[in-house]
Amino acid sequence: MNTSHSQINLHHKQILLWLCVLSFFSVLNEMVLNVSLPDIARDFHKEPASINWINTAFILTFSIGTAVYGKLSDQLGIKKLLLFGIIVNCIGSVIGFVGHSLFPVLILARLIQGTGAAAFPALVMVVVARYIPKENRGKAFGLIGSIVAMGEGVGPFIGGAIAEYMHWSYILLLPIVTIISVPFLAQLLKQEEVIKASLDNVGILFMSLGIVFFMMFTTFYKISFLIVCLIFFLLFVQNIRRVSNPFVDPALGRNISFMIGIVCGGLIFGTVAGFISMVPYMMKDVYHLSTVAIGSGIIFPGAMSVIVFGYLGGVLVDKSGSLFVLTTGSAFLAISFIVAALYIETTPLLITIIVIFVFGGLSFTKTVISTIVASSLEQKEVGAGMSLLNFTSFLSEGIGIAIVGGLLSVRLLNQKLLPINAEPPVYLYSNILLLFAGIIVVSYFVTMNMYKRSRINI
């Protein structure tokens, strides 16, 4: 009896170990190339609008994939999908490393990586819920959350060190480590009963094409891309109203409070992602810092601070309420962007402190947005609604990165608008930071106004 019990515990621990490995490399894959973008831009002689697609491409398929894997988990089984995701992610890594000197191949590799890596956040939590005993799930979720936070923190540090002392292309090989989990997970995870159901493939296609053309518009500012984007989104809306099992439940669109939360949350998350993608360019242009210095000295402390701010945000929600934490987080973000805009040339240490408070503000607002969005949903809508929130959160990050790449390339904002003594390149970053602050302030007041009117209990 005791032997059998200990074997079960060992089985659970082994599953949890490999889930932690997958979670770590999932986040690492998203963050690790960011600090090297200026180096890649130099190698390819391209503007940020094009280079940022290295991150945008990954997040595009990553965000869509998380939603698709979630839909498919009951139809194909978690085991098959998780192993498929690991293998596809590794294939993308090999393609990217071998063909890194060809920019289209590099973008294709990142699309493939995102397609595979999307299985990790979509399915890892489901595996925990199904395989880990109820009394240990809290610890399991907490451990995975800590591993994810650690991945976010060490990603810029590892990426910066590899790019500085080896070459940025070697960063693409990091996800291959996850291939060692395949034989173990194949043995540990059991074959599941599957449910026959249809998947809205047409809806997924229309939505994906609409998103791609919108991102192309934000990158190159060609009106033809925007027109094609609107056509595909109209086709998408028409499709989900007609099919029996739509990719997105159209009823959610009639929940105004939910939609405001989704849009404002997306604006906040996209703004922060855009800022983080801009930091390496800014540090190179303003302070001429090395890649390893940017990764370890500028971004690393902020990314690691998420662990502290995440815990503190949870404590404050229980003690002072969600709206207080939302206000605090929004203030962190807006004030940080304004201070950075006004004193951008002061010292790199200031930007390090700014990045810490930006990550802190993101951690606070992310917690609260999830809470208030969930509170706006009826019980039967919670699953679909929270799935849509996760999807839009990931997607908004990709859109934010694409938009910032476009702004850095077309240089529409490269003129003196603030009373600062600096050279013209600094004006561009300063004005974009001011724009970031404005987006955060507007999003905050719209969210507060809507939820006060709705009288949602949060």
Q: What is the pLDDT of residues 1-38, one digit of tens each?
A: 444 444 447 777 888 888 888 888 877 777 678 888 99
Report how far residue 309's alpha carbon sits from residue 329's, in angstroms, rounded to the nearest whole number. 10
Report the pLDDT value the prediction gives residue 349, as an integer from 0 to 100.
Answer: 93
Confidence of residue 155 (pLDDT cuts 50, 70, 90): confident
For position 288, which CATH number holds? 1.20.1250.20
Cβ atoms 365, 329 nearer than 8 A = yes
Strand, helix or coil for residue 77: coil
Is pLDDT of 428 > 80? Answer: yes
Both 323 and 231 in a single domain? no
Confidence of residue 169 (pLDDT cuts 50, 70, 90): very high
Question: Please, what is the average pLDDT of the chain?
Answer: 85
Report the pLDDT value the prediction gives residue 455, as an integer from 0 to 100.
Answer: 55
| Residue-range definition of the domain harbouring residue 239 | 200-246
Task: Determine the average pLDDT of the residues in 274-280.
Answer: 93
Report the pLDDT value the prediction gives residue 34, as an integer from 0 to 100.
Answer: 85
Both 241 and 269 in a single domain? no
Distances (CA, A) of 311 to 142, 329, 440, 453: 11, 14, 23, 29
Both 156 and 237 in a single domain? no
Both 275 and 180 in a single domain? no
Both 131 and 179 in a single domain? yes
Buried/exposed 201-226: b ≥16 CB within 10 Å, e otherwise: ebbbebbbbbbbbbbbbbbeeeeebe
DSSP 8-state symbol, 382: H
Per-residue pLDDT of 104-146, as tens digits, reads 999 999 999 999 998 888 788 778 777 777 777 767 776 777 7
Confidence of residue 197 (pLDDT cuts 50, 70, 90): low
Both 206 and 280 in a single domain? no
Report how far residue 113's alpha carbon sits from residue 123's, in angstroms, rounded to the nearest whole number. 16
Is pLDDT of 304 > 90? Answer: no
Q: How many domains does the chain have?
A: 3
Both 82 and 165 in a single domain? yes
Task: Determine the average pLDDT of the residues in 264-270.
Answer: 91
Both 329 and 431 in a single domain? yes
Is pLDDT of 237 > 50? Answer: yes
Confidence of residue 282 (pLDDT cuts 50, 70, 90): very high
| CA angle at 294 for the pair 266 and 49, rounded to the nearest 5° | 50
Report the pLDDT value the prediction gives residue 4, as an integer from 0 to 100.
Answer: 45
Task: Determine the average pLDDT of the residues in 52-72.
Answer: 87
Per-residue pLDDT of 355-406, as tens digits, reads 999 999 998 888 788 777 777 777 777 767 777 888 888 889 889 998 999 8
Report the pLDDT value the prediction gives residue 252, as an integer from 0 to 100.
Answer: 83
Confidence of residue 194 (pLDDT cuts 50, 70, 90): low
pLDDT higher at 175 or 381: 175
Report the pLDDT value the prediction gives residue 1, as an integer from 0 to 100.
Answer: 44
Strand, helix or coil for residue 243: coil
Task: Determine the average pLDDT of the residues in 34-58.
Answer: 90
Report how far residue 447's alpha carbon sits from residue 385's, in angstroms, rounded to the nearest whole number. 17
Both 145 and 83 in a single domain? yes
Both 149 and 284 in a single domain? no
| Residue type at position 117 | A
Is pLDDT of 196 > 90? Answer: no
Both 222 and 268 in a single domain? no
Is pLDDT of 57 > 60? Answer: yes
Both 317 and 362 in a single domain? yes
pLDDT higher at 318 or 439: 439
Report the pLDDT value the prediction gives residue 200, as an integer from 0 to 100.
Answer: 83
Strand, helix or coil for residue 344: coil
Report the pLDDT value the prediction gives residue 456, as an integer from 0 to 100.
Answer: 56
Is pLDDT of 80 > 50? Answer: yes
Report the pLDDT value the prediction gives residue 457, as an integer from 0 to 100.
Answer: 54
Is pLDDT of 423 > 90? Answer: no
